[in-house]
Amino acid sequence: MPKDSNHIDFAAGAKWVSFHQNVSFTPERWYDVINRRLDADQTKPTDNIERRKAAILRIQKILKEAEFNNKKVRAYGGTWSLSEIQKTTDYLINTNPLNAIDVGLEAKYLDNASIDGKQLVFTQCGASVKKVNEELKQSNLALPTTGASDGQSIVGAFSTGTHGSAFTFGSMCDYVIGLHIITTETVHYWVEGNTKIVSDLFIQTMIPGATRINNDNVLNSAIVSFGSFGIIHAAMLQAEPLYELECYQCYQDWNDVKACIDGPNLAPLSNFNIPNTGLYNFSTFINPYKLDSAVVTAKKKVPFTGHHTQNNSPQFGPSKDVLDLIGKISDIAPKKIPKIMKVLDDLIKKEYPEYSAQTDIPSNIFNGGVAADRGKGLSVELGVDASQVSTAMISIQLAANIMPFPGVIALRYVKKTKATLGFAKYPMTCTIELPGAMSKETERFYAQVYMLLDAAGVEYTFHWGQCNNLTAAKVRAKYGNTAVDNWLKARYTLLPLHKQQLMFSNDFMKTIGLDVLSSTEPYIA
């Protein structure tokens, strides 16, 4: 295996393929960054503080190499993103081995007495959501919300805007209160909001040499920055006491479920024998060609008892093997997609049984499930103002009739995020996910959806980690000039030189107009 000038191994000519197999590329260099010293014996420290220091040095040396050779750098974790945010032909960094996690912070490491240090989690970027959940469970803690699955890296999940479905909380990025970001061989930052959380001793001990930045705009921009502010090496998360979810799932006619989707309006749930007060989340998904059996799921947050009655997985859509088959058939015989999807109804009912008032902890519910199996698939996720869901669904269902779609339609609800470019931007956002088989028919369906939504005047955003048709003009139209400019200025704070901004960019960043700061005026954070 070749080595760079710092004697760090890298692979050359190896093809990278995303989890869902819709994105692939061959980087010039592919680094596996590990918590191992760069000295002669390459020893692996067992202490988390020393492990982090070893990782920081390795990342800094790779960035030195990239800068010297005028190369761009991207990092990846769980490979779950369906967009091209991680794509590069230059240097690619695998952060998965960086999985050190510390639960609880000693008082000497805190600057803010109002923060309960026992509920803080300092995690490296490569730790999976699953591993973070497992560590928290040992301390009777839990993340306030996660996505539907736990195979992503924790940083990859929150930095693309992954949201979960807790409409009383928000997205995963909303419990991120600190970030360690490395930008050059000699410069790295500890970023918090305006209010200090950790002490200077914490920085000196855990990430020595980092420059402190306390600025709401920088933090709120960096938490959803999809790898473009530098290498996010670690994050501080604010967990909460372990809780359980009381779960309900049933099948209802879509015509009845539609009464719930704007708002959401939870009152009609009582007609389905589901509580309509005190709910933690509400979601539904439909097979667009079998509307008499929409899956309705609701969960109520209850105190932890330890007496679980269910371990269920809320993944949307049939298994990957089935989607692969549908994709192949749909490319050959697109007119048969509605008939194929009707046949799948029995499979869907097998994977999503009805249940009532069954409880479990969130990490058992929002786990890998069928999505843990690597397979071909596509997905678009739209963020729509929750008051406009019915209008949006008219366009989406019409698109499914015009352009047969080998997939399902899923609706979840999430509170507005604090992230500057978070896609859950409305006071209450309905996320409309459209997972389907990898096929030309699926791509044509997506194009039809965009066209009909635009024609109907429905505003929507895109999940940064899923398929989209974003351009620079669309990003500004969807988020507004103020939000985009604030995000760019926050990036400029960490990457003040034009060459640094380019180093953490790629073609996707250029396409959406976020690769460099257009203004030459200096920005004071």
At residue 53, the pLDDT reads: 94
- Per the domain annotation, does 503 fall within a domain? no
Phi-psi domain of 198 (left: phi exceeds 0; alpha: psi -120 through 50; beta: other): beta
Looking at the structure, tell me whether residues 423 and 321 fall in a common domain.
yes
HEC string of 275-297 equals CCCCEEEEEEEECCCCCCCEEEE
- Per the domain annotation, does 496 fall within a domain? no
Q: Is 68 exposed, middle or buried (0-12, 13-18, 19+ CB in 10 A)?
A: exposed
Nearest to residue 62, comparing CAs of 97, 91, 99, 86? Answer: 91
How far is CA 182 from each of CA 179, 441, 500, rounded to the nearest angstrom?
Answer: 10, 42, 11
Interatomic CA distance for residues 501 and 495, integer angstroms: 6
CATH code of residue 176: 3.30.465.10
**Residues 6+ away with beta carbon under 8 Å from 224:** 158, 159, 160, 161, 173, 417, 419, 420, 421, 422, 464
Looking at the structure, tell me whether residues 330 and 228 fall in a common domain.
no
Given a contact cutoff of 8 angstroms between Cβ atoms, the answer to whether 23 and 84 are in contact is yes
DSSP, collapsed to helix, strand or coil, labels residue 216 as: helix
Nearest to residue 466, comparing CAs of 378, 405, 406? Answer: 378
Sign of CA dihedral 80, 85, 88, 91: negative
Interatomic CA distance for residues 443 and 425, integer angstroms: 25
Range of the structural domain that residue 360 is part of:
245-469
- Opening angle at CA 159, ends 119 and 470, nearest 5: 155
Nearest to residue 193, comparing CAs of 221, 224, 161, 216? Answer: 216
Given a contact cutoff of 8 angstroms between Cβ atoms, the answer to whether 406 and 441 are in contact is yes
Looking at the structure, tell me whether residues 417 and 307 fall in a common domain.
yes
Looking at the structure, tell me whether residues 196 and 321 fall in a common domain.
no
Looking at the structure, tell me whether residues 390 and 457 fall in a common domain.
yes
How far is CA 184 from each of CA 57, 219, 237, 515, rounded to the nearest angstrom?
Answer: 11, 19, 24, 17
Q: Which two tokens stand for residue 178?
A: 């600190």
- Per the domain annotation, does 265 fall within a domain? yes
At residue 468, the pLDDT reads: 95
| Successive 10-residue mean pLDDT values, the chain, 525 residues | 89 89 91 85 83 95 96 90 89 95 96 92 95 95 88 90 86 97 98 97 97 98 96 97 94 97 96 93 90 93 80 46 50 69 73 88 74 66 97 97 89 95 96 88 95 97 94 96 97 96 95 78 41
Given a contact cutoff of 8 angstroms between Cβ atoms, the answer to whether 354 and 301 are in contact is no
Q: What is the pTM of this model?
A: 0.93
- DSSP letter at 310 equals -
Spell 394-403 as b/e; 16+ CB within 10 A means b: ebbbebbeeb
- Per the domain annotation, does 290 fall within a domain? yes
- Per the domain annotation, does 450 fall within a domain? yes
Given a contact cutoff of 8 angstroms between Cβ atoms, the answer to whether 365 and 247 are in contact is yes
| Sequence letter at residue 326 | I
- Per the domain annotation, does 462 fall within a domain? yes
Looking at the structure, tell me whether residues 393 and 338 fall in a common domain.
yes
At residue 511, the pLDDT reads: 95
Given a contact cutoff of 8 angstroms between Cβ atoms, the answer to whether 199 and 111 are in contact is yes
At residue 452, the pLDDT reads: 98
Residue that finishes a domain, picked among 469, 484, 500: 469
Residue that finishes a domain, picked among 241, 274, 305: 241
Which residue bears the tokens 């009532």? 356
Looking at the structure, tell me whether residues 224 and 299 fall in a common domain.
no
Looking at the structure, tell me whether residues 237 and 97 fall in a common domain.
yes
Looking at the structure, tell me whether residues 283 and 407 fall in a common domain.
yes
- Per the domain annotation, does 507 fall within a domain? no
Looking at the structure, tell me whether residues 213 and 361 fall in a common domain.
no
Interatomic CA distance for residues 381 and 464, integer angstroms: 9
How far is CA 347 from each of CA 256, 339, 367, rounded to the nearest angstrom?
Answer: 22, 14, 20
Q: What is the DSSP string of 150-214?
A: --SBHHHHHHTT---S-TTT--GGGGEEEEEEE-SSS-EEEEE-SS--B-HHHHHHHSTTPEEEE
Residue that finishes a domain, picked among 201, 217, 241: 241
Looking at the structure, tell me whether residues 233 and 253 fall in a common domain.
no
Looking at the structure, tell me whether residues 202 and 103 fall in a common domain.
yes
CATH code of residue 363: 3.40.462.10
Number of folded domains in the chain?
Answer: 2
In whole angstroms, what separates CA 103 from the centre of its chain?
A: 22
At residue 312, the pLDDT reads: 53
Looking at 435-522, list the stretches that DSSP marks H as alpha helix, in order from N- to C-terminal side: 440-455, 472-479, 481-494, 498-503, 507-511
**Residues 6+ away with beta carbon under 8 Å from 333:** none
Q: Is 522 exposed, middle or buried (0-12, 13-18, 19+ CB in 10 A)?
A: exposed
Q: What is the DSSP string of 347-400?
A: HHHHHS--EEEEEE-HHHHSS-GGGGS----EEEEEEEEGGGHHHHHHHHHHHH
- Per the domain annotation, does 477 fall within a domain? no
